[in-house]
Structure 1
Protein backbone atom coordinates (compact mmCIF):
# COMPACT_ATOMS: atom_id res chain seq x y z
CA UNK A 1 0.00 0.00 0.00
CA UNK A 2 1.28 3.44 -0.94
CA UNK A 3 1.11 6.05 1.78
CA UNK A 4 -0.11 9.41 0.58
CA UNK A 5 0.05 12.69 2.41
CA UNK A 6 -2.94 14.91 1.65
CA UNK A 7 -2.67 18.69 1.76
CA UNK A 8 -4.40 21.77 0.40
CA UNK A 9 -3.30 22.56 -3.13
CA UNK A 10 -0.97 25.51 -3.68
CA UNK A 11 -0.85 27.78 -6.73
CA UNK A 12 2.29 25.97 -7.93
CA UNK A 13 0.29 22.71 -8.11
CA UNK A 14 -2.18 23.94 -10.76
CA UNK A 15 -0.35 22.60 -13.84
CA UNK A 16 0.19 19.19 -12.23
CA UNK A 17 -3.47 18.97 -11.19
CA UNK A 18 -4.54 19.93 -14.72
CA UNK A 19 -2.34 17.23 -16.31
CA UNK A 20 -3.32 14.58 -13.77
CA UNK A 21 -7.03 15.25 -14.22
CA UNK A 22 -6.74 15.31 -18.03
CA UNK A 23 -4.81 12.02 -18.08
CA UNK A 24 -7.38 10.39 -15.79
CA UNK A 25 -10.31 11.53 -17.94
CA UNK A 26 -8.67 10.44 -21.19
CA UNK A 27 -7.54 7.09 -19.82
CA UNK A 28 -10.85 6.25 -18.15
CA UNK A 29 -13.45 7.59 -20.58
CA UNK A 30 -12.05 7.63 -24.13
CA UNK A 31 -13.47 4.21 -25.06
CA UNK A 32 -16.78 4.79 -23.27
CA UNK A 33 -17.61 8.34 -24.37
CA UNK A 34 -15.58 8.79 -27.54
CA UNK A 35 -13.09 11.39 -28.65
CA UNK A 36 -15.26 14.52 -28.92
CA UNK A 37 -17.03 14.22 -25.53
CA UNK A 38 -13.71 13.44 -23.83
CA UNK A 39 -12.09 16.44 -25.53
CA UNK A 40 -14.93 18.65 -24.27
CA UNK A 41 -14.60 17.28 -20.73
CA UNK A 42 -10.84 17.84 -20.70
CA UNK A 43 -11.17 21.34 -22.21
CA UNK A 44 -13.73 22.37 -19.61
CA UNK A 45 -12.62 20.55 -16.46
CA UNK A 46 -8.85 20.68 -16.87
CA UNK A 47 -8.25 24.19 -18.15
CA UNK A 48 -5.20 25.54 -16.36
CA UNK A 49 -6.65 29.05 -15.85
CA UNK A 50 -9.74 27.51 -14.27
CA UNK A 51 -7.79 25.30 -11.87
CA UNK A 52 -5.37 28.10 -11.02
CA UNK A 53 -8.31 30.42 -10.25
CA UNK A 54 -10.03 27.75 -8.14
CA UNK A 55 -6.89 27.25 -6.07
CA UNK A 56 -6.43 30.97 -5.57
CA UNK A 57 -10.00 31.86 -4.53
CA UNK A 58 -9.30 33.90 -1.38
CA UNK A 59 -11.11 32.35 1.54
CA UNK A 60 -13.09 30.15 -0.82
CA UNK A 61 -16.34 30.94 -2.57
CA UNK A 62 -19.69 30.08 -1.02
CA UNK A 63 -19.92 26.31 -1.11
CA UNK A 64 -16.41 25.82 -2.53
CA UNK A 65 -13.92 24.00 -0.29
CA UNK A 66 -11.02 23.87 -2.73
CA UNK A 67 -8.52 21.45 -4.18
CA UNK A 68 -6.56 18.87 -2.20
CA UNK A 69 -3.54 16.98 -3.49
CA UNK A 70 -2.02 13.67 -2.40
CA UNK A 71 1.73 13.32 -2.53
CA UNK A 72 3.91 10.24 -2.52
CA UNK A 73 6.97 9.72 -0.35
CA UNK A 74 9.11 11.77 -2.73
CA UNK A 75 6.67 14.71 -2.66
CA UNK A 76 5.34 14.07 -6.18
CA UNK A 77 1.62 14.74 -6.60
CA UNK A 78 -0.11 11.41 -7.25
CA UNK A 79 -3.74 12.47 -6.86
CA UNK A 80 -6.10 15.42 -6.56
CA UNK A 81 -9.64 16.05 -5.42
CA UNK A 82 -12.00 19.02 -5.24
CA UNK A 83 -15.27 19.45 -3.45
CA UNK A 84 -17.70 21.73 -1.75
CA UNK A 85 -21.00 22.06 0.07
CA UNK A 86 -23.12 23.97 -2.45
CA UNK A 87 -26.41 23.10 -0.73
CA UNK A 88 -26.73 23.09 3.07
CA UNK A 89 -26.08 19.57 4.33
CA UNK A 90 -25.01 18.15 0.97
CA UNK A 91 -21.37 17.73 0.01
CA UNK A 92 -20.44 17.51 -3.66
CA UNK A 93 -17.28 15.83 -4.92
CA UNK A 94 -16.39 17.74 -8.07
CA UNK A 95 -13.23 15.85 -9.04
CA UNK A 96 -11.12 12.95 -7.86
CA UNK A 97 -8.19 11.74 -9.94
CA UNK A 98 -5.28 9.45 -9.14
CA UNK A 99 -2.22 8.85 -11.32
CA UNK A 100 -2.51 5.48 -13.04
CA UNK A 101 0.70 4.25 -11.39
CA UNK A 102 -0.72 5.02 -7.93
CA UNK A 103 -4.19 3.52 -8.28
CA UNK A 104 -5.39 0.78 -5.93
CA UNK A 105 -2.91 1.90 -3.28
CA UNK A 106 -5.15 3.95 -1.00
CA UNK A 107 -4.56 7.34 -2.64
CA UNK A 108 -8.16 7.78 -3.78
CA UNK A 109 -9.44 6.68 -0.38
CA UNK A 110 -7.12 9.16 1.37
CA UNK A 111 -8.29 12.00 -0.87
CA UNK A 112 -11.95 11.09 -0.47
CA UNK A 113 -11.51 10.83 3.29
CA UNK A 114 -9.88 14.25 3.56
CA UNK A 115 -12.48 15.84 1.29
CA UNK A 116 -15.26 14.22 3.32
CA UNK A 117 -13.85 15.60 6.57
CA UNK A 118 -13.79 19.09 5.08
CA UNK A 119 -17.41 18.69 4.02
CA UNK A 120 -18.46 17.47 7.45
CA UNK A 121 -16.81 20.56 8.91
CA UNK A 122 -19.21 22.64 6.83
CA UNK A 123 -22.28 20.67 7.91
CA UNK A 124 -22.55 18.03 5.19
CA UNK A 125 -24.56 14.96 6.19
CA UNK A 126 -24.66 13.49 2.67
CA UNK A 127 -22.25 13.36 -0.23
CA UNK A 128 -22.84 13.23 -3.98
CA UNK A 129 -20.75 12.77 -7.10
CA UNK A 130 -21.69 13.05 -10.79
CA UNK A 131 -20.03 10.73 -13.28
CA UNK A 132 -19.33 11.43 -16.97
CA UNK A 133 -20.96 8.16 -18.08
CA UNK A 134 -23.82 6.05 -16.84
CA UNK A 135 -22.99 4.15 -13.67
CA UNK A 136 -23.23 0.72 -15.28
CA UNK A 137 -20.26 1.48 -17.53
CA UNK A 138 -18.29 3.99 -15.50
CA UNK A 139 -14.84 2.64 -14.53
CA UNK A 140 -14.90 4.50 -11.19
CA UNK A 141 -18.07 2.72 -10.02
CA UNK A 142 -16.24 -0.08 -8.13
CA UNK A 143 -14.25 2.50 -6.15
CA UNK A 144 -17.30 4.55 -5.24
CA UNK A 145 -19.35 1.45 -4.42
CA UNK A 146 -16.59 0.29 -2.06
CA UNK A 147 -16.84 3.67 -0.32
CA UNK A 148 -20.59 3.31 0.29
CA UNK A 149 -21.94 5.29 -2.67
CA UNK A 150 -25.09 4.03 -4.40
CA UNK A 151 -26.71 5.12 -7.66
CA UNK A 152 -29.23 7.96 -7.39
CA UNK A 153 -29.77 8.07 -11.17
CA UNK A 154 -27.77 6.83 -14.19
CA UNK A 155 -24.91 9.32 -13.73
CA UNK A 156 -25.14 10.33 -10.07
CA UNK A 157 -24.10 8.54 -6.89
CA UNK A 158 -24.65 9.44 -3.27
CA UNK A 159 -24.08 8.30 0.28
CA UNK A 160 -25.01 9.43 3.75
CA UNK A 161 -22.14 10.68 5.89
CA UNK A 162 -21.87 9.09 9.29
CA UNK A 163 -20.64 11.08 12.23
CA UNK A 164 -16.92 10.52 12.85
Structure 2
Protein backbone atom coordinates (compact mmCIF):
# COMPACT_ATOMS: atom_id res chain seq x y z
CA UNK A 1 0.00 0.00 0.00
CA UNK A 2 2.82 2.38 0.84
CA UNK A 3 6.58 2.29 1.13
CA UNK A 4 8.64 1.33 4.14
CA UNK A 5 9.84 4.05 6.49
CA UNK A 6 13.12 4.08 8.39
CA UNK A 7 13.53 6.48 11.28
CA UNK A 8 16.90 6.89 12.99
CA UNK A 9 16.93 9.35 15.90
CA UNK A 10 19.99 10.83 17.57
CA UNK A 11 20.85 8.51 20.46
CA UNK A 12 23.25 9.13 23.34
CA UNK A 13 25.88 6.56 24.23
CA UNK A 14 24.88 3.32 25.94
CA UNK A 15 24.50 4.16 29.61
CA UNK A 16 22.08 1.39 30.51
CA UNK A 17 24.47 -1.52 30.22
CA UNK A 18 21.73 -3.36 28.32
CA UNK A 19 22.69 -4.62 24.86
CA UNK A 20 20.68 -3.44 21.89
CA UNK A 21 17.98 -5.82 20.77
CA UNK A 22 15.54 -5.76 17.88
CA UNK A 23 11.95 -5.74 19.08
CA UNK A 24 9.02 -6.40 16.78
CA UNK A 25 6.05 -4.08 17.25
CA UNK A 26 2.73 -4.65 15.47
CA UNK A 27 0.53 -1.65 14.61
CA UNK A 28 -3.18 -1.68 13.88
CA UNK A 29 -5.89 0.97 13.53
CA UNK A 30 -9.44 0.89 12.23
CA UNK A 31 -10.83 4.21 13.46
CA UNK A 32 -9.96 7.77 12.46
CA UNK A 33 -7.07 8.58 10.14
CA UNK A 34 -5.54 5.12 10.34
CA UNK A 35 -2.45 5.82 8.23
CA UNK A 36 -1.61 9.03 10.09
CA UNK A 37 -2.03 7.25 13.43
CA UNK A 38 0.37 4.48 12.45
CA UNK A 39 2.98 6.80 10.97
CA UNK A 40 2.80 9.24 13.89
CA UNK A 41 3.12 6.36 16.36
CA UNK A 42 6.21 5.05 14.50
CA UNK A 43 7.75 8.53 14.66
CA UNK A 44 6.92 8.72 18.37
CA UNK A 45 8.58 5.33 19.00
CA UNK A 46 11.68 6.57 17.16
CA UNK A 47 11.89 9.46 19.65
CA UNK A 48 11.76 7.23 22.73
CA UNK A 49 14.88 7.16 24.88
CA UNK A 50 17.20 4.23 24.15
CA UNK A 51 15.65 3.58 20.72
CA UNK A 52 18.22 3.85 17.94
CA UNK A 53 16.31 2.70 14.85
CA UNK A 54 12.75 2.06 13.67
CA UNK A 55 11.96 0.35 10.37
CA UNK A 56 8.27 0.44 9.48
CA UNK A 57 6.78 -1.96 6.94
CA UNK A 58 4.28 -1.11 4.27
CA UNK A 59 0.69 -0.71 5.40
CA UNK A 60 -1.60 -3.72 4.94
CA UNK A 61 -5.39 -3.44 4.72
CA UNK A 62 -7.22 -6.24 6.58
CA UNK A 63 -10.73 -7.12 7.64
CA UNK A 64 -11.57 -6.58 11.31
CA UNK A 65 -11.48 -9.73 13.44
CA UNK A 66 -13.68 -10.20 16.47
CA UNK A 67 -13.60 -12.91 19.11
CA UNK A 68 -15.99 -14.99 16.98
CA UNK A 69 -14.08 -14.46 13.72
CA UNK A 70 -13.85 -12.03 10.77
CA UNK A 71 -16.22 -9.04 10.85
CA UNK A 72 -16.45 -7.71 7.28
CA UNK A 73 -19.12 -5.16 8.30
CA UNK A 74 -16.79 -3.50 10.84
CA UNK A 75 -14.34 -0.77 9.77
CA UNK A 76 -11.27 -2.34 8.14
CA UNK A 77 -7.84 -2.24 9.70
CA UNK A 78 -4.57 -0.87 8.50
CA UNK A 79 -1.73 -2.95 9.89
CA UNK A 80 2.04 -2.66 9.87
CA UNK A 81 5.05 -3.96 11.75
CA UNK A 82 8.14 -2.11 12.92
CA UNK A 83 11.54 -3.47 13.79
CA UNK A 84 12.66 -1.35 16.74
CA UNK A 85 16.31 -1.40 17.80
CA UNK A 86 16.35 -0.56 21.50
CA UNK A 87 18.04 -0.93 24.85
CA UNK A 88 14.76 -0.49 26.74
CA UNK A 89 13.69 -3.48 28.82
CA UNK A 90 10.65 -5.21 27.28
CA UNK A 91 8.29 -4.22 30.10
CA UNK A 92 9.39 -0.57 29.82
CA UNK A 93 8.99 -0.61 26.04
CA UNK A 94 5.52 -2.12 26.37
CA UNK A 95 4.53 0.55 28.91
CA UNK A 96 5.70 3.25 26.50
CA UNK A 97 3.73 1.63 23.66
CA UNK A 98 0.61 1.76 25.84
CA UNK A 99 1.27 5.44 26.56
CA UNK A 100 1.49 6.11 22.80
CA UNK A 101 -1.83 4.29 22.32
CA UNK A 102 -3.33 6.54 25.01
CA UNK A 103 -1.95 9.63 23.23
CA UNK A 104 -3.91 8.49 20.16
CA UNK A 105 -7.18 8.18 22.07
CA UNK A 106 -7.12 4.43 22.58
CA UNK A 107 -10.07 3.32 24.71
CA UNK A 108 -9.96 -0.16 26.22
CA UNK A 109 -13.65 -0.96 26.61
CA UNK A 110 -14.11 -4.07 24.51
CA UNK A 111 -11.60 -6.83 23.89
CA UNK A 112 -11.09 -7.22 20.13
CA UNK A 113 -13.09 -4.01 19.59
CA UNK A 114 -12.51 -1.10 17.22
CA UNK A 115 -9.53 1.12 18.02
CA UNK A 116 -7.75 4.26 17.00
CA UNK A 117 -4.38 2.57 17.56
CA UNK A 118 -3.20 -0.81 18.76
CA UNK A 119 0.49 -1.44 19.47
CA UNK A 120 1.57 -4.96 20.39
CA UNK A 121 5.03 -6.05 21.45
CA UNK A 122 5.28 -9.19 19.32
CA UNK A 123 8.87 -10.22 20.00
CA UNK A 124 11.90 -8.92 21.84
CA UNK A 125 14.97 -10.56 20.35
CA UNK A 126 14.91 -14.20 21.38
CA UNK A 127 13.48 -13.55 24.85
CA UNK A 128 10.53 -15.52 26.12
CA UNK A 129 8.24 -14.58 28.99
CA UNK A 130 5.08 -16.09 30.49
CA UNK A 131 4.58 -13.06 32.72
CA UNK A 132 0.96 -11.95 32.13
CA UNK A 133 2.15 -8.32 32.00
CA UNK A 134 4.49 -8.98 29.05
CA UNK A 135 4.17 -12.27 27.23
CA UNK A 136 6.94 -12.97 24.74
CA UNK A 137 6.54 -13.78 22.02
CA UNK A 138 3.00 -12.40 21.70
CA UNK A 139 0.76 -15.43 22.27
CA UNK A 140 -1.18 -15.10 18.99
CA UNK A 141 1.55 -13.74 16.69
CA UNK A 142 2.12 -17.07 14.91
CA UNK A 143 -1.57 -17.14 13.90
CA UNK A 144 -1.81 -13.66 12.35
CA UNK A 145 -0.92 -12.96 8.74
CA UNK A 146 -1.47 -9.25 9.43
CA UNK A 147 1.57 -9.46 11.74
CA UNK A 148 3.68 -12.05 9.93
CA UNK A 149 3.44 -10.68 6.37
CA UNK A 150 4.65 -7.15 7.20
CA UNK A 151 7.38 -8.65 9.41
CA UNK A 152 8.50 -10.90 6.57
CA UNK A 153 8.59 -7.87 4.27
CA UNK A 154 11.12 -6.23 6.60
CA UNK A 155 13.21 -9.35 7.31
CA UNK A 156 13.11 -12.32 4.94
CA UNK A 157 15.13 -14.39 7.44
CA UNK A 158 13.01 -13.56 10.50
CA UNK A 159 12.21 -16.21 13.08
CA UNK A 160 9.63 -16.24 15.85
CA UNK A 161 11.19 -17.85 18.91
CA UNK A 162 9.42 -21.11 19.69
CA UNK A 163 7.70 -21.26 16.28
CA UNK A 164 10.38 -21.07 13.59
CA UNK A 165 10.81 -19.15 10.37
CA UNK A 166 8.26 -16.44 9.62
CA UNK A 167 8.27 -17.47 5.93
CA UNK A 168 7.22 -21.01 6.92
CA UNK A 169 4.48 -19.74 9.24
CA UNK A 170 3.13 -17.46 6.48
CA UNK A 171 3.15 -20.32 3.95
CA UNK A 172 1.33 -22.62 6.39
CA UNK A 173 -1.36 -20.04 7.22
CA UNK A 174 -1.90 -19.22 3.54
CA UNK A 175 -2.17 -22.93 2.67
CA UNK A 176 -4.86 -23.34 5.34
CA UNK A 177 -6.63 -20.12 4.30
CA UNK A 178 -6.13 -18.68 7.80
CA UNK A 179 -4.59 -15.63 9.34
TM-score after normalising by structure 1: 0.33
State TM-score, norm by structure 2. 0.31
- Which structure: greater helix fraction? 1
